[in-house]
Amino acid sequence: MAFTTVEEVATRLGWPLSTDEQAKVQAFIEDCTVLIEEYCGKDFERRESQSFQLPAKGGWYLEIPRRYSAFLTVDSVVLDDGTVVEDYRLNGNFLVLEECWPESGYATITGSWGYANPPAALKVVTTAEVIRWMSQTPGLAMERTGEREVEYATSSSPHSLSEAAKSALRRYRPSVGTLTLTREDC
């Protein structure tokens, strides 16, 4: 699910887009959506009844990666040997088992996660970034007409999130904090 549409970008640009420009904008929207989700480390798109695997390392909990933790509901947990786990509980970013998880293998977690309605700030950031990308010439960092000056970009890709976009997305990124855990032997 994209955070904005081609029509919304065209409206903000103030002119109708040609067929080629529409295809380019659609590709930019998809690219920007991926970059935002990677930068924030979250799936903003709602995933329903999908699965992911976590390595079982023994102990009484499995840590759920932040990507899957937003509004996570777990439908089932199955070990790689086919054993269905029923006595688990979801506690924050941890899947806790009263007994111990196996020392090796994987647990397949099936459930739903992500935002039902992505935050409105994502639409603003995506639209602004797509418009910025549309106005850039690939490989060109600066161009001046008076006295003719051209500077070619060597390292940064124009298809990356700007500092303004990163600043707007900061509240959706993981924060740094301290978490005290105690380990009980299984």
Whether 154 has a pLDDT exceeding 60, the answer reads no
Does the pTM exceed 0.75?
no
Query: What per-residue confidence (pLDDT) applies to 44?
Result: 87
Query: What per-residue confidence (pLDDT) applies to 155?
Result: 47
Handedness of CA 103, 109, 68, 70 (dihedral sign): negative
Phi and psi of 50, rounded to 5°? -115, 165
Average pLDDT over residues 58-62: 87
Instruction: Give 148's pLDDT tier (boundaries 50, 70, 90).
Output: confident
Phi and psi of 120, rounded to 5°? -60, -30
Query: What per-residue confidence (pLDDT) applies to 118?
Result: 87
